[in-house]
Amino acid sequence: MERRSFNRWSQWGDPALLLITSLGLVLGGLALALGRADLASLSWAAGSLLMTLALLIEVVQRLLRREAGVDLIALLAIVAALGFEQWLVAAVVALMLSSGRTLEFYTSRRAVRELQALLDRAPRYAWLVEGAELRRIPIDQVRVGQVLMVRQGDVVPVDGRLLSASASLDESALTGEPLPVTNVKGNTLPSGIVNLGEPFKLEALQTAEQSTYAGVLRLAETARRSKAPFARLADRYALLFVPATLLLAGAAWLISGEPLRALAVMVVATPCPLILAVPIAIMGGISRAARRGVLFKDGTSLEALAEVRELFLDKTGTLTSGQAKVQAVEVKDERDATQVLAMAASLAQASVHPISQSVVNAARLQKLELHEPSHVEEIPGAGLEGRVGEHRVRLGTLPFVCGGADPGQWAGRLLRRMDYGCYGGSFVAVDGELAGAVLFADVVRRETPGVVRRLRSAGIKRIVMLTGDRQENAEAVALASGIDDVQAGLAPADKVRAVLEGGLSGRTAMVGDGINDAPALAAADVGVAMGAAGTGASSEAAGVVLMVDRLDRLVEALDIARQTKSIARQAVLVGMGLSLLAMLVAASGFLSALAGAVLQELIDVVAIVCALRALGMRRAQVRWLSGEQVDRLHQEHVQLDRLRARLRQLAETFAQLPPDVARASLDMLVDELQKQLAEHEREDERTLYPMLSAKLAGDDPLSALSYGHREIFRLILLLTRVRDDLFQEPLAVSLEEVQTLLIRLDTLVQLHFDQEEELYRFLDRR
């Protein structure tokens, strides 16, 4: 049953009704056994009357809203039984109804208030600057024009103008963009973003009530209230079942002249298959989803997801990892990329900035030796400066590391490439000279393209990406993901508008992970939150939470929802079909009201057994590889990342290197390609591929990947011959020809690794 307003007196109202009706039936049975028929009738009537009162209030409320529900027949059956003094019949019907209500109560008990996490995150206080002192004041006392201090790690309390020279800020809560943003003096800052750098001063331009973050709160609440109510499966069937029951009961009474026949029809028609089977099937589906790391907060969310045909996806943290990861290390002239990365990472150890930590993690992944930095100075919004061993190192923005000097053509070319590739970057200077740059990107999740394909196969008609990021970045992610409808540069209100417009053509779902997604999650028919890595706000505003940080769980959630709804429908049709047959028998006078109540219990058992299939039905799974094997295969790819980075770097710069440096670099690279990459692929060809091919459909299902192996072997062999020729006769092959071979090998290896990673994810059924 839906949660109705009168029931707010106690969240345990439905279990209490079940307890009372059960006690009434049991005590009445004991009294009858002791020969006290009067006490038995009183006990049965007491429980029935309480249920009647609860049903009456609810039915009246629904009729005032011009809605019909499964409760109407039940109410009429109990009232008729009491009117004809059929106390036991009334008690049995009341017990069945209270059982169904309690089952549905437990399916929706996980529902929570959508805005609680948003409110919890909202700042309560601000630091007011009064001369040389700071005073903490409640945020609602902040007035326009006051100067506030925002400390490192604090949430900006109100919209304001930056008074300090610069500020490094995390705006992901509002925009979804994971990379930190540097603002300079005079910029306007919205409330709700986080200070990542040094404390800064802010002039309040709005009060807390009028600021951006308060607007997000109001937007989420408005979106939640604006959603059209979801018509439940049971209520949709009731629209047909209720009038049919009333017509048959009235006809039986009119033709036979016996009112008890009408009572028998109504008792046996009491819609317990609807009341019991649907909640039980939904509980089974919710339980089954929980085993796969998917939390449905209530049955309504499960039913709504089963009907979704239009899907909206946030970019950052949903389609992408949500974290800036090092993609490449670019170097100037003949410098070594690993040395540049080691220098940058050694200095970055002194900073807690997310970009600095990404640099350190990339160096540790390559097992580089890092040194303790000294005399480190961090300039918020610019970068780091300090000593690493005997060298003076700078890491940060290009103007900062160059110190006002001309960065040269190399930096200009790299900046253009960064723009084309949607990369961010931190430049590195060693002893006053520009040495290179560390490039970052928020990469597309490896499972994303496969998930998009499976969603389309599952019947999702339209998949739209909504993001606050730039159009160029959004289009790049959309192309990599297989999404062809992109809306970029959106504020939270724009996302809500897009979702509501999509809802005009059918059921919608919104998938997101950030606070900026919470209003859109609330506006959709069903919101899906990436709860493992997302904020609490998105999890609370959503009806479905993916507790495992894997987007492919969305497809499983959709499959489970649709299978559960199908099972619930089958259980309802079986139960209603049997009830209809029993109604015809009762209308013919061959079934009394009490016998009808008992028969209805048997019909309920059949419907419940049918509904319980939702708990046990699982997708057929073949454990081709264990989780440990998949992890090992993935780790082998990770260990080859350093070699792949060297291959990429040499492929981009080989023709510009001095001939001696080019030959030496090629010699070292070819040796590593033979010892590491070629041996890794040969081991896959010898052991892994035969094992998988024996279990996959087709004569040679991995032939395309095997062809990739052969082409890799051929290119490595060709590079080996070219290397030998260059050492014997330096002018035998042009550097441009060698660079072409390196580019071909780099492209092939990248594509091949991506294909294998997607295969491994498919085989991983954890």
Q: Mind telling me the catalytic residues?
A: 314
Looking at residue 662, its amino acid is A
Q: Could you tell me which residues come within 8 angstroms of residue 237 by beta carbon, excluding any fewer than 6 positions away?
A: 70, 274, 572, 576
Which residue from 686, 678, 689 is spatially nearest to 640, judged by alpha carbons?
Answer: 678
E-assigned strands of 538-596? 544-546
**Cβ proximity of 712 and 748 under 8 Å:** yes
Rounded CA-CA distance 22/139 in Å is: 53
Q: Are strands 325-331 and 294-296 parallel, antiparallel or unpaired?
A: unpaired
**Cβ proximity of 248 and 587 under 8 Å:** yes
* CA-to-CA separations, 622 to 625, 658, 765, in angstroms, rounded: 9, 54, 9
Q: Is 383 helix (H, G, I), strand (E, B) or coil?
A: strand
Q: Are strands 544-546 and 526-529 parallel, antiparallel or unpaired?
A: parallel
Rounded CA-CA distance 80/263 in Å is: 6
Structure tokens belonging to residue 330:
């670019």
Rounded CA-CA distance 390/371 in Å is: 11
Rounded CA-CA distance 229/227 in Å is: 6
Rounded CA-CA distance 449/443 in Å is: 12
Residue 367 CB: number of other CB atoms within 10 A? 8
Which secondary-structure segment (H or E) carries 122?
none
Structure tokens belonging to residue 122:
């909202």
Q: Could you tell me which residues come within 8 angstroms of residue 756 by beta carbon, excluding any fewer than 6 positions away?
A: 633, 637, 684, 705
Task: List, as one string, the DSSP characters of 12-78.
Answer: THHHHHHHHHHHHHHHHHHHHHTT-HHHHHHHHHHHHHHHHHHHHHHHHHHHHTT---THHHHHHHH
Count of residues making up the chain: 766
Q: Are strands 462-466 and 310-314 parallel, antiparallel or unpaired?
A: parallel
Q: Could you tell me which residues come within 8 angstroms of residue 274 by beta carbon, excluding any fewer than 6 positions away?
A: 70, 234, 237, 238, 241, 572, 575, 576
Rounded CA-CA distance 352/152 in Å is: 11
**Cβ proximity of 443 and 477 under 8 Å:** no
Which secondary-structure segment (H or E) carries 286?
helix 278-290
Beta bridge mates, 201: 149
**Cβ proximity of 317 and 530 under 8 Å:** yes
Rounded CA-CA distance 636/688 in Å is: 13
Rounded CA-CA distance 197/131 in Å is: 23
Structure tokens belonging to residue 533:
């890595």
Rounded CA-CA distance 235/76 in Å is: 17
Rounded CA-CA distance 572/180 in Å is: 53
As to burial, measured by CB atoms within 10 angstroms (0-12 exposed, 13-18 middle, 19+ buried), residue 324 is buried
Structure tokens belonging to residue 147:
């100067």
Looking at residue 313, its amino acid is L
Rounded CA-CA distance 684/677 in Å is: 11
Rounded CA-CA distance 521/541 in Å is: 6
Q: What share of the chain is helix, strand, coil (3-state, %, to 5)?
A: 60, 15, 25
First to last CA, the chain: 35
